[in-house]
Amino acid sequence: MNPADDGRPPVVLLHGLARTHLSMAGLGRTLRRHGHQTWARTYPSRRHSVEASAEQIADQLLHDHGDIAFDAVTHSLGGVLVRQMAARVRFRRVVMLAPPNAGSDLARALGDFGPFAWLYGPAGSDVQRLQAHGHALQAEVAVIAGTRAPSLGNPISWLSASLGVFGEDRANDGTVAVDETHLPGMVDFCAVDASHTWIMNDPRVQAMVLRFLAAGTVRPPTEQAPARQPGPDAAATTSR
């Protein structure tokens, strides 16, 4: 895989924890219809730590395609892997969908619960300790967070609601709070009424992904605003 004839880098699609590359298939089809080349693989997210999964994916990319620049679209844990991979793999633009950049209060709440450790493995423990700062990622990054919780498509959202993990007023998608998605240095941010599990299939989100990869912003020209930085009001930019 090499850059497209028009110079656009290939797009790496990285799924989230306890998912497979098939969860990104719909988004991949949309990207290919718009002329992007895509690369997606399933990594053993339940068996490996964040570091081990990132090393495995970086090895595959460098072996298959050499030292070229990539774009990336990630879901949940996939965004954390890109941050880890950035020491070895060059990225131009990255769109992170519902990433736990600042860790996960839900993971911390369930950390001592045996079935959680069985289902999510070492990476589930890693997510409890994540911090948003201290990453090597030099790409332009946009973050898109979800705000629909609880939702039928995300069973764990009902558990987080019943446990009161996010309280009454903290915006979240049932798995990750909006404020947990923020990454220092991100150049754009938007919150969307979408669930954590299937945010990548939301047509509004797919349009934002295409726009950011093409122009470095998630908004149409008529809606463009200054880049949002992490802070208490960062979730105010919302698409419904």
- Nearest 5°: the CA angle 77, 82, 86 is 155
Q: Is 166 exposed, middle or buried (0-12, 13-18, 19+ CB in 10 A)?
A: buried
Helix and strand totals (H; E) in the chain: 7, 7
Please check whether residue 151 is in contact with residue 192, taking contact to mean a CB–CB distance below 8 angstroms.
no
pTM of this structure: 0.87
Q: How many CB atoms lie within 10 A of CB 230?
A: 18
Q: What is the pLDDT of residue 210?
A: 98
The radius of gyration computed from the CA coordinates of the chain, to the nearest angstrom, equals 17
Task: Tally the C-alpha atoms within 13 A of residue 54's C-alpha that lie toward its C-beta.
Answer: 19
Q: What is the pLDDT of residue 119?
A: 65
In what side-by-side order are the strands of the sheet with 91-97?
38-40, 11-14, 70-75, 91-97, 140-146, 188-192, 238-239
Judging by DSSP bridges, how do beta strands 11-14 and 70-75 pair with one another?
parallel
Q: Is 118 exposed, middle or buried (0-12, 13-18, 19+ CB in 10 A)?
A: exposed
Q: What is the pLDDT of residue 231?
A: 44
Please check whether residue 24 is in contact with residue 13, taking contact to mean a CB–CB distance below 8 angstroms.
yes
In CATH, which of 3.40.50.300, 3.40.50.11540, 3.40.50.1820, 3.90.1150.10 is domain 11-219? Answer: 3.40.50.1820
Distance CA 237, CA 22 (A): 30
Per-position pLDDT tens, the chain of length 240: 566 667 899 999 999 988 899 999 999 999 999 999 999 999 988 888 889 999 999 999 999 999 999 999 999 999 999 999 999 999 999 999 999 999 989 888 887 666 766 566 677 778 778 788 767 799 999 999 999 999 998 988 998 998 899 998 999 999 999 999 999 999 999 999 999 999 999 999 999 999 999 999 998 877 765 544 444 344 345 666
Q: What is the DSSP string of 177-209?
A: BGGGG--TT-SEEEEES--STTGGG-HHHHHHH
Q: What is the pLDDT of residue 240?
A: 60
